[in-house]
Copies of this chain bind each other. A is one copy, B any other.
Amino acid sequence: MVTVRDVARAAGVSISTVSRALTAPDKVAASTRERVATVAAELGYLPNRAASGLRAGRTGTFGLLVPDLSNPYFAAVTKGVAERAREHGLGVFVVDSEEDPEIEAELLRGLAHQTDGVVLCSPRDVTGDREVVGAKPVVVVNHRIDGTVSVGSDNTAGIELAVEHLHALGHRRIAYVGGPTTSWSDEQRRAALAEAGRHRPDLEILTFGPHRPVVEGGTAAAGVVVASGATAAITFNDVVAVGLVRRVQDLGVRVPHDLSVVSFDDTFLAHLVTPSLTSVHTDLRGVGRQATDLLVRRLAGAGGADGEPATDTLLPARLVVRESTAPAASLLPPG
């Protein structure tokens, strides 16, 4: 293993000069800096993060906690985080809580202890998690929690886009197939739906749920959605939409002819399935990147939990229209 001593010897300087040349370039003469850099590169020197972290009090690493890596939503966010971390030269510990609050708390504790800060990505209420993390900076994805920096999708705008689209297509009775009660996004969307309904007296909005955010959640909802007489549905996410579509088709309801469906998230599933799904898109990778940038800013700042005021960043929603939505049957010419 090549250490600072090796580089120092080869460059004919002291180890502190090597350290400075590599971490605080302006505190060393240009010529020295260059020589050290060259020698370091030749020797293939890589600083030992454990050692530098131990001494400097920061590890150059942060943690990312997600509930389920195989969920395309979190996979996309994770990619954004990983990508941006690399650009910042930071390491990332990725942990998967398997949607289990206990595991989540345990992992989070460990994560907070070994890293400089944490990006906390959880659909659940993470208020309790906050104190597990202690004084380390946290950025929360997909929640708005008092006293934390958060990043998320603009669910309100998303709902408005979905409703607007369906309303314009002539739908007047829209079902919302909601997610888990613990989901903050779901809460937001329900509130936004109520608001959207208030603005459109001719519109009737029916809400169903809670449903698990899996295929079975969608299949479970199919019966009541069909029975409700709704001509369009908005689902909690793509996967629920897939379940819903499949089951209503089994019941003889055609999508989009008899039922239009708009999903949330627009993960790659949305354009993979048949019919492809009209979906409320958010740049999830961007969410991850943004969360990372916010964390890095806090890391660079006071470093503590109170380094910066709580902020709430919303990434814009965009509606991607595909095959699962069509004009309400009543608008079609008869026959």
Contact = CB atoms under 8 A, between A and B. Distances in A.
Interface of A: 46, 48-51, 53-54, 59, 68-70, 72, 75-76, 78-79, 82-83, 86, 91-96, 98, 103, 107, 109-110, 113-114, 215, 239, 242, 246, 249, 268-269, 271-274
B70 A59 contact: no
A59 B69 contact: no
Contacts of A92: 93-95
Contacts of A68: 79
* Number of identical monomers bound together in the oligomeric complex: 2
Contact of A46 (B98, B109, B215): B109
Contacts of A75: 69-70, 75
Nearest to A285: B70
A49 B272 contact: no
A103 B85 CA distance: 13
A247 B271 CA distance: 13
Contacts of A76: 70
Given A48-B113, A54-B50, A96-B79, A70 B272 contact: no
B107 A49 contact: no
Contacts of A72: 70, 72
B49 A114 contact: yes
Contact of A96 (B82, B269, B271, B274): B82
26 contacts: A46-B110, A48-B54, A48-B113, A48-B114, A50-B50, A50-B51, A50-B53, A50-B59, A50-B114, A54-B54, A69-B78, A70-B72, A70-B76, A70-B79, A72-B72, A75-B75, A82-B95, A83-B96, A91-B93, A91-B110, A91-B114, A92-B94, A93-B94, A269-B269, A273-B273, A273-B274
A109 B249 CA distance: 51
A90 to B, nearest CB: 11
A46 B113 contact: yes
Given A70-B75, A72-B72, A78-B96, 19 more contacts: A46-B109, A48-B113, A50-B51, A51-B54, A69-B75, A69-B79, A70-B72, A70-B76, A83-B96, A83-B98, A86-B95, A86-B107, A91-B114, A92-B93, A93-B93, A239-B272, A249-B274, A273-B273, A273-B274
